[in-house]
């Protein structure tokens, strides 16, 4: 059976997945994976990651039928495309502005919207009832409001975990040894008793607090708005207090499946 490949290349992570090839925009995700978005990791890990997904999905490379790439990291896009082509023979087309032009927005200049935010909006419109608030927790925390007419009204961008770690490392390098010991705290109310514990509490409370606060602000006058969490750190925020109406780890990939022209 043929399959399609959808990839979300971010600033810190490549998240991609294999979907069943059907005419329906509600295609089934058969397997997905995350790898670090660095030239070295993309070169070394693309083929093994794809092989593992194919094995999980019970598919073969010969049955590749197409797909779509959404990149928020243009500097690394050529590295990813080159590695994928070199090791697998797959050519993955990129998302174009024309593919998202039908998604309405209240942004003053829609060219300032990251493609992943438009793709997330497409996924929310296709798979959830609007109004909705989508929070994507990656390098940055992006929170967007889609109103009941399916318009991406706008949102907010806050530092995510990778940005927070990089900022602390850059501005306070003497904290590096403790920063390397940071682990997600299981209790955000328990004071830290070491520098590493204090950093853990501060960083993860910021992640949790920013996400919850922004979602609450955007849905304050819209009590029916669904709150949808996605991104690599969404599971932690959801698990800490069961926050959010839906945890959808493949939301962006679903959006790409929705937008895929399937030519």
CA distance 112 to 222: 26
CA–CA distance, 215 with 71 (Å, rounded to integer):
25
* Conformational region of residue 49, where left means phi above 0, alpha means psi within -120 to 50, and beta covers everything else: alpha
Contacts of residue 190, Cβ cutoff 8 Å, sequence gap at least 6: 201
Least confident of 24-33, 137-146, 171-180, 215-224: 24-33
Query: Mean pLDDT over residues 169-198, rounded?
Result: 97
pTM of the entire predicted model: 0.94
pLDDT in tens, 130-176: 999 999 999 999 999 999 999 999 999 999 999 999 999 999 999 99
pLDDT at 80: 94
pLDDT above 80: residue 28: yes
Say what the alpha-carbon torsion angle 238, 241, 244, 245 is, to the nearest 10 degrees. Answer: 110
Cis peptide before 131 (omega within 30 of 0): yes
* 8-state DSSP, 139: S
- 219-232: average pLDDT: 94
Q: Per DSSP, what are the bridge partners of residue 141?
A: 137, 158
For residue 26, the model assigns a pLDDT of 75
Percent of the chain past pLDDT 70, that is, above it, reads: 99
Domain residue extents for the chain: 3-94, 101-160+199-254
Going edge to edge, which strands form the sheet with 13-20?
Answer: 29-36, 13-20, 3-9, 64-71
pLDDT reading at 22 higher than 90: no
Average pLDDT, integer, range 110-132: 96
Q: What does pLDDT average to over the chain?
A: 95
- Specify whether the CB–CB gap between 157 and 136 falls below 8 A: no
Task: Please report the pLDDT score of residue 165 as a whole number.
Answer: 97
Structure tokens, 171: 């501005």
Residue 32: predicted pLDDT? 98
Please give the average per-residue pLDDT across 28-40, as a whole number: 95
Task: Return the CATH superfamily for domain 3-94.
Answer: ATPase, nucleotide binding domain (3.30.420.40)
CATH match of 101-160+199-254 with 3.90.1170.50? no
Question: 56 pLDDT exceeds 90?
Answer: yes
Smallest CA-to-CA distance from 17 within 27, 4, 26 is with: 4
Average pLDDT of the segment spanning 247-252: 97
Please enumerate in sequence order all residues whose Cβ is within 8 A of that of 178, keeping only pairs 6 or more positions apart, or say none. Answer: 194, 195, 196, 199
Structure confidence by residue, pLDDT tens digits, 38-51: 999 999 999 999 99
Is the pLDDT at 81 greater than 90? The verdict is yes
| Model confidence band, residue 27 (pLDDT cutoffs 50, 70, 90) | confident
For residue 140, count other CB atoms closer than 10 A to its CB: 21
Percent of the chain whose predicted confidence (pLDDT) is above 90: 94
Q: Give the model's confidence band at 1: pLDDT under 50 very low, under 70 low, under 90 confident, else very high.
A: confident
For residues 225 and 88, is the Cβ–Cβ distance under 8 A? no
Measured in degrees and rounded to the nearest 5, phi and psi for residue 218 equal -70, -25
The answer, yes or no, to whether residue 218 has pLDDT greater than 90, is yes
């Amino acid at each position: 059976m043929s399959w399609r490949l959808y990839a979300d290349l971010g600033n810190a992570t490549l998240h991609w997945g294999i979907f069943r090839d059907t005419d329906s925009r509600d295609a089934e995700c058969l397997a997905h994976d995350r790898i670090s978005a660095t030239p070295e990791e993309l070169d070394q890990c693309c083929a093994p990651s794809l092989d593992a997904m194919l094995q999980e999905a019970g598919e073969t490379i010969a049955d590749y039928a197409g797909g779509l790439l959404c990149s928020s990291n243009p500097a690394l896009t050529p590295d990813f495309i080159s590695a994928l082509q070199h090791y697998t023979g797959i050519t993955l087309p990129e998302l174009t502005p024309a593919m998202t032009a039908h998604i309405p927005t209240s942004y003053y200049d829609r060219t300032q919207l990251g493609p992943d935010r438009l793709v997330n909006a497409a996924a929310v419109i296709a798979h959830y009832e609007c109004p909705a608030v989508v929070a994507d927790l990656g390098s940055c925390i992006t929170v967007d409001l889609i109103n009941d007419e399916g318009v991406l009204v706008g949102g907010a961008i806050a530092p995510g975990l990778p940005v927070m770690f990089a900022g602390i490392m850059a501005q306070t390098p003497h904290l590096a040894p403790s920063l390397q010991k940071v682990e997600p705290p299981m209790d955000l109310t328990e004071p830290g008793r070491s520098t590493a514990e204090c950093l853990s509490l501060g960083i993860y409370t910021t992640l949790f607090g920013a996400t919850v606060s922004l979602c609450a602000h955007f849905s304050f006058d819209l009590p029916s708005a669904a709150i949808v969490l996605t991104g690599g750190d969404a599971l932690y925020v959801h698990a800490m207090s069961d926050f959010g109406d839906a945890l959808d780890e493949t939301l962006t990939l679903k959006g790409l499946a929705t937008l895929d022209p399937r030519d």
